[in-house]
Amino acid sequence: MESFIKYSNQSQGRDRIFRATQYACALAKYLLRNDPARKALLVKLRSLESNMSSGRKLFRLGNTVNSIDAAKRTLLLSDPVLRLCLTVANVSRALYFICDNVLWAKHIGLIQGIDKDRWSLNASRYYFVSLLMNLTRDAYVMAQLMVQKSREKQFQQKASQHLNDSPDVACVIIPQLDAFLFLFIESLRSHPAVALDTLKNACDLFIPLDKLGIYQTNAGVVGMCGLVSSLIGILSVLKPNLKIKP
């Protein structure tokens, strides 16, 4: 089992590259949709996007096992909030991958007689829950970091100087808001992994929101958000210190 999980983890980098290419094609298609001179290019982009999507499904065949294993590990966390958020996120992610694998099997003809739309809708629901739990974790971690930062003497001196040197309207009328924003920005600067993970999950959230009809945008927004989150994912693979833990 450990060997299988290790092998599956090695495919994550390739999956993220395929994902970035897929959403880059989606964004390019949206930007060029009204250009009659680019019809041939649009056909190529559509084909490349489809191939990237199919390739990603192959890379993700083992991700259900990874997610279940991750859920077993997060059950051992001492912090109850992190334990709840991450376990629910990993279980939802496992269910999402199960739906995704069934849809892939349906697409290539391995199984018949399933409702494709229903399975796709369920996949989006599980993905949505997983992202919500991850964003809740991000908010919780950020709140803890802000509390820790506010207690540092060096930060208190820096914040005091900032407030004294910023006689703008917001600082005069709502000094608490200015202090909060300063604390928030300083905390993000000190912990870029949290900032990147929050941005990644927030971008990804637009994808299930659009598919579920909760907040419908357009293919351009979905493509841009998917591309940004994919690039952040690639960066976290290249630089493990930028990946949030746990």
Cβ burial 213-234 (10 Å sphere, 16+ → b, else e): eeeeeeeebbbbbbbbbbbbbb
Q: Binning pLDDT at 50, 70 and 90, where does residue 246 land? A: confident
Angle between helices 219-238 and 192-212 (to 10 degrees): 150
Quick check: 12 pLDDT over 90?
no
pTM: 0.86
Output the average pLDDT for the chain.
86
Rounded to an integer, the average pLDDT of 208-226 is 94
Q: How far apart are alpha carbons 132 and 89 in whole angstroms?
A: 8
CA distance 100 to 83: 25
Only one residue has tokens 């980098």, namely: 13
